[in-house]
A and B are shown apart, each in its own frame.
Chain A
Amino acid sequence: MSGPPTLSAYRAILGDAEVDTLQRLGDALRGTRLVHVNATRTGGGVAEILARLLPLMAEVGLDPRWEVIHAAGEPDFYRVTKTFHNAIQGDPVELHPGDFDLFMRVNRKNAAEISLDADVVVLHDPQPIGLVERHERGSARRFVWRCHIDAAHPDPRVWRFLERFLVRFDAGIFSAAQFTKPMPIPQFLVAPAIDPLSDKNRPLEPEQVRAVCERHGLDPNRPMLTQVSRFDRFKDPLGVIRTYQLVRETHDCQLVLAGGGASDDPEGAAVLEEVRAAADGDPNIHVLLLPPDANVEINALQRAATVILQKSLREGFGLTVAEGMWKGRPVIGGLTGGIPLQIIEGVTGYLVSTPEGAAFRARYLLNHPEVAGEMGRRAMEHVRQNFLVTRNLREYLLLLLALRRPGDRMISL
């Protein structure tokens, strides 16, 4: 692909009115200098979002930059930030003496070296949070913390440490209300989004989908239940196999469990083994271990599916749900995390808590393909309205307007 798509490429998907709105909001903010700071330029969801978002921000008239913190000579920094990441999500963590000092040392070094010369500075996740120490009282420059993870039940030791930074921000951005906790700064809610023009989501030719099915030995003429996820217990792959087995009692169907990340993750490798054992040689269960860049492959597998499952037991926002819905497929999702925010129960998909519940809904959809088709169409429309990258851009623009006029509940342009 030759660079990220321009705004005009989205007109065919969104319509002129939505793109014109983005341009008008951009006009009101023309020249606003914005700097994003995160921990990496490649790999991971945040880098993926910024790579797509920044060119669009520039196109509507902002002056955006992207800086990345570095930890040269401090290899332990990323262990500490990974610990913080897990602690914010409420996972049990082990803190070592000196972790907080190391975190501060790296952040202060970066604060001295990275140019934060901008009207608005957005710091993503905990890694660069210490850069907010550069926020001087009375300065017109605004600092925003974009937290991409669920911070509702953090480890108190880590949260107490982070609070000294949090109070210095002008605003926070969280993915959903249930991921926030009370703080003395405004907390805006911006749901994650998918890019309809990325390899993972762009339209594919039927031959491309067929080729992927052939490569993996899938029969395109029989119903396919598909879950795309890392091999992780919270994604409940064993529950998905149980679901398939229950559906299989009445329908000659196939199961596709596709995911990656097991090679460098000891727990993932163990889960993958459990999944293979549970599949027990069933030729209709296809466990596909995909490389991290298999985006077109995932796209094709979702398009080939009859019903998409995301039967998580615990989830962040769970954007694979929106990805599946964007392919016009009904999605059966676990009643957890951000999944209920994406699925309108009974309209764009179903929410379930057990393999039995998932099997009941899947059997219904297989027996009523016209309902499945209508549900898929509604799901795609719901994603178009609410979960595309252009909505993410729009909300950033609204945020910038709100930061300019912090006391105004209503702004007329």
Chain B
Amino acid sequence: MRSPFHFKKVLYLIEATGRSARRLEELLRMVLIAPDDTVGYHMHHEFLVSPRLLPEYSNDFADWAGRALGANRLCERLANLRVFKHRTLDSLKTELARLIADELSTVPGVSELAVSDERAFHFVTARSILLEAGPPAHDVEELRRAITQVEPGCLYYHLFETRFAGGARDGDLAEWLHGIGNPELAQRLALFDPYMFSLEDARRELLAMLPLASPAGGARK
């Protein structure tokens, strides 16, 4: 019998890296040398900060390029980064760097844009502390019930973090559903784009998704 699904939540302890950028060239240089987990953190931590709010831009790089630097074209391209198309954070980092480099080489004057110290982009990193949270789920019904109850931090961990840190490319929720014989539902979850929803809205989306794909008596034990 397949082992139950265990919900976890992640708590971050944030650490400064001492690296910051005021111009795009600096941002590019820093992205290239930043550890992978630093890039991952800046890609989606904002969702955890305000679980009921969808950030205007889904990652810190887009937000900084648009709001602080005024590089609107780059902002849009960074905001539209399809993070989970990349198998690794290193690949994502390469794409991030490519977009910034492309902007620098094709948009006249963008390299001259600069912000004050107060609006600089500060690269940080995070140590993750994982806690088991919520009851284990043995079938889709229990999974659904748990999703109604778990904290936003749990949803965050399973929707974002396990796509890279846990090594489950489609997310561990989708992998578990696949493992218990629900490939259709697993596929729907794998395609779910958490960057388009606040965590609380993502909860509603997941709940709406689950009963549709679980026919009575199907995978439910």
Show the binding face of A for B, using Cβ within 8 Å: 17-18, 21, 24-25, 152-153, 174, 177-178, 180-183, 186-190, 335-337, 340, 344-347, 378, 381-382, 385-386, 394-395, 398-399, 401-402, 408-413
Per-residue contact bits, chain B 12-32, to A (CB 8 Å; 1 contact, 0 not): 111110101000000000000
B11 pairs with A394, CB closer than 8 A: yes
Partner of B15, one of A186, A340, A378, A408: A186
What are 15 A-B residue pairs whose CB atoms fall within 8 Å in the complex? A17-B151, A24-B131, A25-B131, A188-B14, A188-B15, A189-B15, A189-B16, A335-B118, A344-B50, A347-B50, A347-B53, A386-B49, A411-B128, A412-B130, A413-B131
Tell me whether B51 is interfacial, beta carbon within 8 Å: yes
Q: Which 7 pairs across A and B sit closest by C-beta, in order of nearness?
A: A177-B122, A182-B18, A398-B13, A187-B16, A189-B14, A180-B16, A412-B130
Known: A180-B18, A189-B16, A401-B129. A344 touches B53 (CB 8 A): yes
Distance in angstroms from B216 CB to nearest chain A CB is 32
Tell me whether B99 is interfacial, beta carbon within 8 Å: no
Distance in angstroms from B144 CB to nearest chain A CB is 19
Complex CA–CA separation, A153 to B131 (angstroms):
38
B18 pairs with A183, CB closer than 8 A: yes
B165 pairs with A410, CB closer than 8 A: yes
Complex CA–CA separation, A17 to B155 (angstroms):
14
B11 pairs with A409, CB closer than 8 A: no
Complex CA–CA separation, A124 to B120 (angstroms):
27
Complex CA–CA separation, A212 to B112 (angstroms):
52
Complex CA–CA separation, A148 to B131 (angstroms):
29
Partner of A413, one of B14, B50, B130: B130
Complex CA–CA separation, A17 to B133 (angstroms):
9
B127 pairs with A410, CB closer than 8 A: yes
Residues of A within 8 A of B13 (CB): 188, 395, 398-399, 401-402
Interface residues on B, range: 20 to 34
B128 pairs with A178, CB closer than 8 A: no
Tell me whether B139 is interfacial, beta carbon within 8 Å: no
Residues of B within 8 A of A182 (CB): 18
Interface SS of chain A: mixed
Complex CA–CA separation, A187 to B131 (angstroms):
24
Show the binding face of B for A, using Cβ within 8 Å: 8-9, 11-16, 18, 20, 37, 49-53, 56, 67, 117-120, 122, 124, 127-133, 151, 165
A410 pairs with B130, CB closer than 8 A: yes
Residues of A within 8 A of B53 (CB): 344, 347, 378
Instruction: Name the residue of chain A whose CB is nearest to the CB of B13.
Output: A398
Known: A17-B151, A345-B67, A378-B53. A187 touches B15 (CB 8 A): yes
Residues of A within 8 A of B165 (CB): 410
Distance in angstroms from B46 CB to nearest chain A CB is 9
Residues of A within 8 A of B130 (CB): 410-413
A410 pairs with B50, CB closer than 8 A: no
Residues of A within 8 A of B131 (CB): 21, 24-25, 413
Instruction: Name the residue of chain B whose CB is nearest to the CB of A15.
Output: B151
A178 pairs with B50, CB closer than 8 A: no
Instruction: Name the residue of chain B whose CB is nearest to the CB of A410.
Output: B128
Q: Most chain-B Cβ atoms within 10 A of its Cβ — which of A24, A25, A178? A: A178
Complex CA–CA separation, A25 to B14 (angstroms):
17
Residues of A within 8 A of B11 (CB): 21, 25, 394, 398
Distance in angstroms from A182 CB to nearest chain B CB is 4
